[in-house]
Amino acid sequence: MSKLEQAAQGAGVTILCEMGLDPGIDHMLSMKMIDEAHALNGKIKAFTSFCGGLPSPAAANNPLAYKFSWSPAGAIRAGRNPAVYKFLGEIIDVDGSKLYESAKRLRLPELPAFALEHLPNRNSLMYGDLYGISKEASTVYRSTLRYEGFSEIMAILAKIGFFDAENHPLLQETDRPTYRIFLNDLLDVNNVSTSNTKVNGEETGGHDDELISRLMMLGHCKEKELAVKILKTIKFLGLHEETQIPKDCSSAFTVICQRMEQRMAYGHNEQDMVLLHHEVEVEYPDGRPTEKHQATLLEFGKTENGRPTTAMALTVGVPAAIGALLLLQNKVQRKGVIRPLEPEIYIPALEILE
């Protein structure tokens, strides 16, 4: 889009981009806090932003505490992106294959009921440039929010090989393998057909024990407790079932995406949730104490007259509508391809949004 800048300037038109949730509402809240600090002669010492689309706590009812309101393939690929950010003056690079391992626990004092974790989100450094704080801020960090425990499970599913996108030999045969045969192949398990007994409706012994021991023997899980959690996830997703894998699955990645799409979609009356949280540390030259400024947006999906609207649809759609409204009312004077970083956009937009 930015390549259209000269043409848009020449034609005297405004192309307003990044008017969603993230990027969008996050830009506007950031610039409001940064501009207010600068107006008081403050310097931004640290900028951190956390944002996530999650199930509401009541809908986070599976081992991953996550559901997909969009393509699992897109969400899984996002979890394999490399990331870079600045922390206390140091540039930190995170390899895409290690992204899930880099997740850190997060507790927000004003929302104590949420057990969260955060993962670095792609290139945070460009936001330091966009917001004009690269030279003054020693920390610039943007991240994705999940409920605690999500990344630990996803990291192990990746180690098992479930996110490998290349064609798998077993899945090229016309004679389709079952999910169980495919799982055994990934874990290098000899096909165990020992009979399982059921305790409280849960299978024990036989194949379960074999899987737990393989997860630990291959070094995927160090503690048995974690291996049991992975086994629960595998069972929840039906990756152990004796049913044939469909013909359109040709890689481990397509197998897990197909299973996640079936097992991790929102139910009819289930709510999603959006949480956006910014923290800005401001220091002043005259010896005043450093201040910490925060902005939080928490939104839940709604149902009106039997019609559900997701929090994601609201938080992505409403700012776009506000942007259209500001353009139609000629409130935006700047021409070219722009983001909502100027007071002429973010001040009225945030008022309407609130």
Residue 173 has a pLDDT of 82
3-state helix/strand/coil string of 133-172:
CCCCCCEEEEEEEEECCHHHHHHHHHHHCCCCCCECHHHH
Pairing of strands 104-106, 90-94: unpaired
How far apart CA 79 and CA 57 sit, in angstroms, is 22
Q: Which residues sit opposite 140 in a β-bridge?
A: 47, 86
Locate tokens 């870079």: which residue? 84
Q: pLDDT per position in the chain (354 positions), as tens? A: 999 999 999 999 999 999 999 999 999 999 999 999 999 999 999 999 999 999 999 999 999 999 987 778 888 888 889 999 999 999 999 999 999 999 999 999 999 999 999 999 999 999 999 999 999 999 999 999 999 999 999 999 999 999 999 999 999 988 899 999 999 999 988 754 444 444 444 555 578 899 999 999 999 999 999 999 999 999 999 999 999 999 999 999 999 999 999 999 998 889 999 999 999 999 998 888 999 999 999 999 998 888 889 999 999 999 999 999 999 999 999 999 999 999 999 999 999 999
For 252-268, give one letter per residue: b (16+ CB within 10 A) or e.
bbbbbbbbbeebbebee
Domains of the chain by residue range: 2-150+271-338, 156-190+204-264
Cβ neighbours for 321, distance < 8 A, ≥ 6 positions apart: none
Q: How far apart are CA 46 and CA 83, in angstroms?
A: 18
Q: What is the pLDDT of residue 205?
A: 59
Of 66, 10, 107, 16, nearest in space to 323 by CA? 16
**Considering the entire predicted model, what is its pTM?**
0.90
Asked whether the bond before 246 is cis by omega within 30 degrees of 0, the reply is: no
The C-alpha atoms of residue 151 and residue 101 are separated, in whole angstroms, by: 7
Identify which of 145, 119, 110, 113 has the alpha carbon closest to the alpha carbon of residue 296: 110
DSSP E strand stretches across the chain: 14-16, 43-55, 83-87, 90-94, 104-106, 116-120, 139-147, 197-199, 202-204, 272-283, 291-300, 302-304, 307-309, 336-338
Domain 2-150+271-338: CATH superfamily is Dihydrodipicolinate Reductase; domain 2 (3.30.360.10)
CATH class for the domain made up of 156-190+204-264: mainly alpha
